[in-house]
Amino acid sequence: MIHIPFVFYLRILPEIVLTAFGMLIMLVEGPARAGNRGKATGRLALTGAVAGFLSCFVQARYPGTAFNDMFRVDAFSVFFHLLITAATVAVVLLAMDYLPAQGMERGEIYALLLFGTVGMGFMVGSVELIMIFLSLEISSIATYVLAGSRRDSAYSTEAALKYLLLGSFATAFFLYGIAMTYGATGTTHIDLIAAAPGVAQALHGVHGLVLLGAGLMFIGLGFKVSAAPFQIWTPDVYEGAPAPVTAFMSAGPKAAAFAIFLRIFYGALSASGNTWFWMVWVAAILSMTIGNIAALRQQNLKRMLAYSSIAHAGYVLVAFAALGKQGIAAVMFYLAAYVAMNIGAFAVIAHFSYRDERYVELRDYAGLGFKFPGASACLTLFLLSLIGIPLTGGFLGKLFIFRAALDAHLIGLTVVAVINSAIAAFYYLRVMVYLYMRTPDREIEKPLPSGTFAVALGACAAAVLWLGIFPDRMLEFATRSANALLFHIGR
C-alpha cells in the first residue's frame, strides 16, 4: 500500500474540486426535471468553477511537489491555475447566457468545460513529460467534443472533426518529440532533462536527437497555440464551434499550452541555449503577419478574431524569443490581458449571435452601438485593448513584450511586431465603424437581457482596465512566477 500524504491532495485541490463538480453535473443531469435541467447544471458548473478558482488560493499555500515529483506547485503553476480557472468561470457565465438562447442547454457541455479545465490545470502543474502529455490529451479531448456541441450545425461538426484530426496529428508529433528527448537523455522529468549532458551538448551541435525532440514538440505545441505555420485549423474551428466554446479555446487551452511551452523550452531545454531560437523567431514573424493580413479581409467576426488570435500568438512568441526572465514575465502578463480581452470580445459575439448563430457577420453589428450602449462600449474597450491603446491591458502587455525583446536586442523582430500591431488596428477599427457609424441593412433580433452576461462582461472589462492602469501587482506576480520557473534549473 503506497502512502500518499494528505498535502498532496491539497496541492491538486483545484483539479479535485473541478472533477467532483464535473461528475456531480453528470449525475444530476439524469434525474433533474427536463425543464429545469439546464438551469440546475449551469448553477452547479458556476459553483464548481468558482470553487475551483478559490481552491487555487489553498493550493498556493502548499508549495512543493506531489506524486513522485510529477506535479509541482510553485508561483508559476499557481499563476496559470488562477488564470485558467478564472477564464473558465467567465466562460461558464457566458454559456449560461448562450445555451438557453440557443435551446441547447445540456449538462454535458458544462461538465466538459470543467473536465477540460482539469486537464489544463494538470498541464500547467506537471513537470514530467508523460504527465504533460496525458493532461494535454484530457484537455484536448474535452475541447474536441465541445467544438461539435452544436449538433444540428454542419459547421460545428466540421469544426469538431477538423480539430480532432489535426489535433491528434499534432499530439502525435508532441509524443514523438517526447520519445526523442527520452532517447537522448534517458528521462522524462523536466529538471533531469535540463541537467542531462546531451542537452548541453546540443548547444554545440553534437546531439541531434535533442534538437529533433525539441523541433517535434515545438510543432505539437505550435498547433495548440495556433502559431503559424500550424494555424490552418484555427479559423474554421473558431467559426464552427459555439461562441462560448470558441472563447474557451482561445483562452484557457492557449494559456495552458504556452505554460508548457515555457516549462519545456525554458525549463527542460534551456541548457541547449538558443539552438531553438530561430524556430521561435520564424514562427513569431509568420504568425503575426499571416494572422493580421488574413484578418483584414474577414467579414465574419468569429473568423476575424480567429486570425487575430493567430497574430496574438505571434506577439507572445516574440517575448518568448527574448530568452529571459523578462520575456517569461511578459508572456505571462500578456496572456492574462489576452484572456480577459478575448473572452470579453467573444462574450459580446455570443450574446448577439442569436439562435443558430445567425448574426455573426460584421454587417449585423451595424448600428448596435447606440441600441446597446453598454455591451458595445465594452466591445469597443476590448477591441482597443486588442489594438494596444494605452490604459488597457493589451497595451501594457505589448509594451512588456517590446521591452523584453528590445532588451534582448531583437530589434528586427520588434520592428516587425510594432508594424504588425499598427496593421491590426485597421480591422479592429472596422468593427467599431460598424458599431457606431453604419446603419443596419437588416435588423437583428434582440437578445434576451441576461444577468450572467452582464457579470461576465463587467468582469472582463474591469480586468482589462485594471491590467491597463494598475498593472504592477500582476507584473510582480508574473515576474515571481518567472523566477520560480527558472529556479529549478539554477539559472
Partner 1 sequence: MDFVAHHLLTIVLLTPALGALLLLAVPRGALGALRGLANLIGWLGFAVSLPLWFRFQPAGPHFQFRESLAWIPSIGARYSLGLDGISLLLVLLTTLLGAVAITSSWNVTERAKEYYIFFLLLQTGMLGVFLALDLFLFYAFWEAMLVPMYFLIAIWGGPRRLYAAIKFFLYTLVGSVLMLLGILLVYFQHGAPYTFDLEQLMTTPLPAHLQLWAFFAFFLAFAVKVPMVPFHTWLPDAHVEAPTAGSVILAGVLLKMGAYGFLRFSLPLLPEAARDPRVRSLMVALSLIAIVYGGLVSLMQQDMKRLVAYSSVSHMGFITLGIFALNPTGLAGSVIQQVNHGLSTGALFLIVGVLYERRHTRAIADFGGVASVMPRFAVVAMIVVLSSLGLPLLNGFVGEFTILQGAFQEHWSWAAWAVSGIVLAAAYLLWLYQRVFFGTLENRANAHLHDISGREFLMFVPLLAAMFWIGLYPKPLFDVLRQPVTELAQRVRPGWASAGTLATAPPTAPSGGAR
The CB-of-461 to partner 1 minimum distance in angstroms stands at 15
216 contacts: CB under 8 Å, gap ≥ 6: 173, 174, 176, 177, 180
Tallying the residues shown for the chain, one arrives at 491
Please say whether the beta carbons of 365 and 373 come within 8 A.
no
CB 99 within 8 A of CB 112: no
- Least Å distance between CB 228 and partner 1? 22
Instruction: Give yes or no for a contact between 223 and 260, defined as CB atoms under 8 angstroms apart.
Output: no
Measured from the CB atom, the residue of 9 and 470 that comes closer to partner 1 is: 470
Q: Least distance (Å) from partner 1 to the CB of residue 296?
A: 12
Closest separation in Å from C-beta 84 to partner 1: 24
What CA–CA distance (Å, rounded) separates 390 from 294? 25
Measured from the CB of residue 321, what is the shortest distance to partner 1 in angstroms? 16
**Bond preceding residue 229 cis, omega within 30 of 0:** yes
Residue number with CB closer to partner 1 (219 or 410): 410
Tell me the one-letter amino acid at 126: S
Question: Which C-beta is closer to partner 1: that of 83 or that of 329?
Answer: 329
Grid cell locating 485: 520557473
> DSSP letters along 184-206, please?
HHS--BHHHHHH-HHHHHHTTT-
Interface with partner 1 (CB under 8 A): 370, 384, 387-391, 395, 399-400, 402-403, 406-407, 414-415, 418-419, 421-422, 425-426, 429, 432-433, 436-437, 470-472, 475-476, 479
User: Which of residues 36 and 439 has its CB atom nearest to partner 1 in the complex?
Assistant: 439
Min. distance of Cβ 464 from partner 1 in angstroms? 14
Beta strands in 241-294 (DSSP E): none
Provide the grid cell at 19: 472533477
Nearer Cβ to partner 1, position 172 or 429? 429
DSSP secondary structure code for residue 119 in this structure: H
Residue 6 vs 370, nearer CB to partner 1: 370
Minimum CB–partner distance for residue 462 and partner 1 (Å): 16
What is the per-residue DSSP string for 175-189? HHHHHHHHHHHS--B
Q: Which is nearer to partner 1, 260 or 387 (CB)?
A: 387
CB of 325 to partner 1, least distance (A): 12
Cell (9 digits) for 194: 535540463
First to last CA, the chain: 38
Q: Are 319 and 404 in contact (CB under 8 A)?
A: yes
Judge whether 43 and 107 are in contact, CB under 8 Å: no
Are the beta carbons of 232 and 166 closer than 8 angstroms?
A: yes
CB nearer partner 1, residue 4 or residue 469: 469
Smaller CB distance to partner 1: residue 229 or 374?
Answer: 374
CB of 214 to partner 1, least distance (A): 30
Q: How many Å apart are CA 346 and CA 242, to the nearest integer? A: 10
Residue with the three cell numbers 514573424: 285
